[in-house]
A and B are shown apart, each in its own frame.
Chain A
Amino acid sequence: MNQLINSILVLLVLTGFMLLSSSRLAACIRAIAIQGVLLGILAIVIQVGQLSVAGVLLPLSSAIVKGFVLPWLLFRAMREADTVREVEPVISYNLSIIAGTAALGVSLWLGHRLTLSNQPPSSLLVPAAFFTSLVGMIVIASRQKALTQVLGYLALENGVYAFGAAVALRLPILVELGILLDVFVGVFVMGIAIFHISREFDHIDTDKLRARTARL
């Protein structure tokens, strides 16, 4: 069982690197989708031995939303905004990967140092969760396209979800449903906003959008 959890976590870390290294938006969206599905499986696998109906249905619905519905929305936004790749990242892709490696180091050290009230099922879980969040932050900070930033926020949320799986085996159903709904609505709104922004301004570069806001 531990073997399975660890392999899921390694895959999670790898998708994080995929998100960091790929310039193609489609690949990034797929990385996020894979992360969503992996997290759903992870949440179920962790509970093996004390499974309940809600305990299966919730991760399942989360996996469906994050793995299929959100990617579908994002692909649609991508087509509508007519962007295929992130062209001008603030830091280069090589540097992104180096930053990701550093983040992995920090996460491992943190996971080692952080004492939790209840022991997580795998020693890799906390580092992987931290790493996913950090990747999200790097992406938010270093990419220009609004769509990529949405992906960053999703990665951030995935990291938080993984951490939640690590510390609290069971959250109240309502809370989990609420979070899921929040993320869904958030992406939905962002998708519409991106579409409208790109229609107004012919691009979705946040870098260029800033010229339209009053400079401080």
Chain B
Amino acid sequence: MTALLISILLFGIGAAGSLIVANRIRWLTFVGAGGVILGSLTGIAPAVRAALGAPPQSLRIAWDVPYGSLYFRLDALSAFFLLPIFLICALAALYGTQYLEAYRGRKALAPSWFFLNVLAASMVVVVLAHNAILFLMAWETMALSSFFLVTFEDDKESTRQAGWTYLVASHIGTACLLVLFVLLGRANGSMDFDRFSASAATGLLFVLALIGFGTKAGFIPLHVWLPEAHPAAPSHVSAVMSAVMIKTGIYGLLRILTFLGPPQAWWGWTLCAIGLSSGVLGVVLALAQHDLKRLLAYSSVENIGIIALGLGVGIVALSAGAPFIAIVAFAGALLHVLNHALFKGLLFLGAGNVAHETHTREIDRLGGLLRRMPGTGATFLIGAAAISGLPPLNGFVSEFLIYLASFRGAISLDASGSVPMLATLSGLALIGGLATACFTKAFGIVFLGHPRTEHAETAHEAGPVMLVPGFVLASGCAFIGLFGSTVVQSMAPLISTVTGLPRISVGENLVQASKSVAIVGYFAALLIGLAALLSLARTIALSRRRVATAETWGCGYANPSPRMQYTASSFTQPLTEIFGTFLQTRQIFTGSDQLFLQRAEFRTHTDDPYQRYLFRPLFHGISRGMNSLRPLQQAKVQYYVLYIAITLLALLLWQVS
């Protein structure tokens, strides 16, 4: 615990220090990044120990705030979420030292380092807080610091817009959380988490938690801020936000579930439904994107959907009294939290490298980058394969666990339990397939083929500081993929904390489940060996022959140009047409169908359907409704007195009658 407090203190020093040395750029980078990195390194050891089953520690300091106390508690659940926070924050800070160099002289960098430290500290406090007031304060600090990080390039209109969308969404969520904690606190007479217990209206509390935490996590339809905020933020910030910050929403939901007592089946059904819609729509929307970081943001929605599916299956199984299924499903969902942190961090940093070198995030303006940026390309490929859930990488292990649980559930549970399991099975398969298509497109169009523009043509590999984080994360992906069974077995304390089942039986069940994972691990190793063997054979076979390079797809064209390559839109067109109803892609074609060719233009654009058909009309309506109240604002004392009088009188009449 002391180490974690020191880690928070180091973040604080980093934050304060970066303001003090704001004008000395060398010192600033040193202090700002140093605070995050040192703080993370200090905290990671106790977090690992606690996640592996060290007894929970707590620390309580009195606090002047009403109902508040500085009550920190480190249990397996907190510790498990601390791991990605520390890891990704440290790597992102390291990455940021070079990434932000490009803005040197144009932008004040001190705020960015300040808020990165604050964000890291607040995320640590969020998962450690054991008092609702402390939690909410840290939660709000997290939202605000990330808002300022997102609006780093605040001279751009689109960035400011994205920032506002994020801020509004974030506060809608916080409003629900406030109600949730006040209800819990009132029922239990204390704002400390360990006093919270199941009260009467658990269903209402669950829904409030779902909306409040779901907004942060990015459940559809509350996801609208993600595709705006992630592309707008600097890449290392996107990595932190997408890889770990949105996971605090999952953490909060799990933490609340531990208060609510035995879960009801419909919670699981709801989570499964949310998971399905988030997963499928998230990946379909990702398919249709042209902006690399926007694509990654939608893919985060998809992965949050997979996590929700796992949680939903777990809850359905818990309420049906099937511990094995529940344990495996929760293990899958939680492992996916960690996995997503690894590969999404990796992909965002990779996308950052691309954007940094080519100055564009438009997929259709890139191409052929694998030759020019081999390190970035290789790590991005590993991330793309992992996020698609392909063996032998980590994404497969966690999705496999969810598959395993829902297979078991579909077979052994009764009708009401097996329906969500079957839906999860088919949904997960669909999501996996579409994700593969999506990342084939992302990797293929960006890194393969020929450069489509001069920017891509003249790109160079990013510096070593920007490559190392990617390598670390890629090896993390491979590690979990290859040693999946060990990792799964070590999750026993965590799963026992979440489900409330005794640790020994959880451990036994996980050992049983990990056998299947081990088989996958062996096959994965075999696959890698095979690939290596083939590659070796190829090298040997080619070593004595002349090797020439030729156009891949000549297609009989006499003079092909890079612009004749597949574009991102054309590659995914078959799929996006199937899902056209959801996507509502707008196609703009200017040109003519005359015999002789003339200048023509073809564009497609896919808005977020929820943004376009739900939230925009909703907020316009609210805005219009508020405008109709304008006449009330008369700036006359008499009127205001009258309003007060009428209100009081109405209240009195209402009370009396």
B-contacting residues of A (Cβ < 8 Å)? 90, 106, 110, 113-114, 134, 137, 140-144, 149, 206-207, 210, 213, 215-216
Would A143 and B633 count as touching, CB distance under 8 A?
A: no
- Majority SS of interface residues in chain A? helix
**Which one of B635, B638, B656 lies within 8 Å of A143 (CB-CB)?**
B638
Q: How far is the CB of A105 from chain B (nearest CB, A)?
A: 12
Q: How far is the CB of A40 from chain B (nearest CB, A)?
A: 26
Given A137-B645, A141-B641, A141-B645, are A110 and B652 neighbors across the interface (CB < 8 Å)?
Answer: yes
Would A137 and B641 count as touching, CB distance under 8 A?
A: yes
Given A137-B642, A141-B642, are A206 and B652 neighbors across the interface (CB < 8 Å)?
Answer: no
In the bound complex, residues from chain B placing their C-beta under 8 Å from that of A134 are 645, 649
Given A110-B652, A110-B653, A110-B656, are A142 and B635 neighbors across the interface (CB < 8 Å)?
Answer: no
Size bracket of the B interface:
10 to 19
Most chain A CB within 10 A, of B638, B652, B656, B657, is at B638
Query: For residue A133, which residue of chain B has the nearest CB?
Result: B645
Q: Is B636 an interface residue (CB 8 A)?
A: yes
Given A106-B649, A110-B653, A141-B645, are A215 and B635 neighbors across the interface (CB < 8 Å)?
Answer: yes
Complex alpha-carbon distance, A144 and B641, angstroms? 13
- Majority SS of interface residues in chain B? helix
Query: How does the 8 Å CB contact mask read for B574-603 relative to A, with 1 for contact and 0 for none?
Result: 000000000000000000000000000000
Would A210 and B636 count as touching, CB distance under 8 A?
A: yes
Would B638 and A142 count as touching, CB distance under 8 A?
A: yes
In the bound complex, residues from chain B placing their C-beta under 8 Å from that of A142 are 638, 642
How many inter-chain contacts with C-beta < 8 Å in the A-B complex?
A: 40
Q: Is B63 an interface residue (CB 8 A)?
A: no
In the bound complex, residues from chain B placing their C-beta under 8 Å from that of A206 are 636-638
**Which one of B636, B641, B649 lies within 8 Å of A207 (CB-CB)?**
B636
Query: How does the 8 Å CB contact mask read for B511-549 relative to A, with 1 for contact and 0 for none?
Result: 000000000000000000000000000000000000000
Q: How far is the CB of B651 from chain A (nearest CB, A)?
A: 12
Given A110-B652, A113-B657, are A210 and B635 neighbors across the interface (CB < 8 Å)?
Answer: yes
In the bound complex, residues from chain B placing their C-beta under 8 Å from that of A144 are 638
**Which one of A106, A110, A114, A141 lies within 8 Å of B638 (CB-CB)?**
A141
Most chain A CB within 10 A, of B641, B642, B649, B656, is at B641
Would B637 and A210 count as touching, CB distance under 8 A?
A: yes
Q: Is B639 an interface residue (CB 8 A)?
A: yes
Given A141-B638, A141-B645, 15 other A-B residues pairs in contact with their CB atoms under 8 A: A106-B649, A110-B652, A110-B653, A137-B641, A137-B642, A140-B638, A141-B639, A141-B641, A141-B642, A142-B638, A142-B642, A206-B636, A207-B636, A210-B637, A216-B635
Can you name 6 A-B residue pairings with CB atoms under 8 Å?
A106-B653, A134-B645, A141-B638, A141-B645, A142-B638, A216-B633
Complex alpha-carbon distance, A215 and B636, angstroms? 10
In the bound complex, residues from chain B placing their C-beta under 8 Å from that of A114 are 656
Complex alpha-carbon distance, A86 and B639, angstroms? 17
Would B656 and A90 count as touching, CB distance under 8 A?
A: no
Complex alpha-carbon distance, A1 and B439, angstroms? 94
Q: How far is the CB of A59 from chain B (nearest CB, A)?
A: 27
Q: How far is the CB of B655 from chain A (nearest CB, A)?
A: 9
Complex alpha-carbon distance, A113 and B644, angstroms? 22
Q: How far is the CB of B323 from chain A (nearest CB, A)?
A: 58
Complex alpha-carbon distance, A213 and B649, angstroms? 29
In the bound complex, residues from chain A placing their C-beta under 8 Å from that of B635 are 210, 213, 215-216
Complex alpha-carbon distance, A110 and B649, angstroms? 10
Would B638 and A90 count as touching, CB distance under 8 A?
A: yes
